[in-house]
């Protein structure tokens, strides 16, 4: 899969990159929420959203690094222009 930079620069995209999609799958399966790597990639691409119970497990697995806003805001983040994303990121980190 070609890594579209915008989708991998979001909070969710960076978290999945750091952990790896396969590790996300393994951790979710261990938590009782089996998913496929394809589903994880679709979440990052903003093509679909995880079910609420899966999103809850993602927040737990991330130890609070991810929020529901990060997960469910992915589609909007991916749809923004690169400039809007950079500006939003700069505001979030206080730059």
Each residue's pLDDT tens digit, 29-86:
999 999 999 999 999 999 999 999 999 999 999 999 999 999 999 999 888 756 555 6
CA distance 13 to 39: 13
Domain range summary for the chain, segments of one domain joined by +: 5-80
- Dihedral of CA 80/81/86/88: which sign? negative
Q: What is the pTM of this model?
A: 0.78
CA distance 47 to 26: 21
Looking at residue 88, its pLDDT comes to 63
Q: How many CA atoms lie within 13 A of 78 on its CB side?
A: 22
Looking at residue 80, its pLDDT comes to 75
Looking at residue 49, its pLDDT comes to 95
- Which whole-number Å values give the CA distances from 72 to 2, 59, 66, 94, in the listed order? 22, 12, 10, 22
């Amino acid at each position: 899969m070609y890594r579209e930079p915008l989708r991998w620069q979001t909070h969710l995209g960076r978290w999945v990159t750091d952990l790896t999609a396969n590790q996300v799958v393994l951790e979710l399966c261990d938590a009782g929420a089996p998913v496929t790597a394809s589903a994880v990639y679709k979440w990052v691409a903003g093509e679909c959203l995880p079910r609420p119970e899966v999103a809850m497990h993602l927040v737990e697995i991330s130890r609070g690094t991810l929020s529901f806003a990060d997960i469910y805001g992915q589609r909007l983040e991916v749809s923004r222009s690169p400039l809007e994303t950079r500006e939003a990121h700069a505001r979030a980190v206080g730059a």
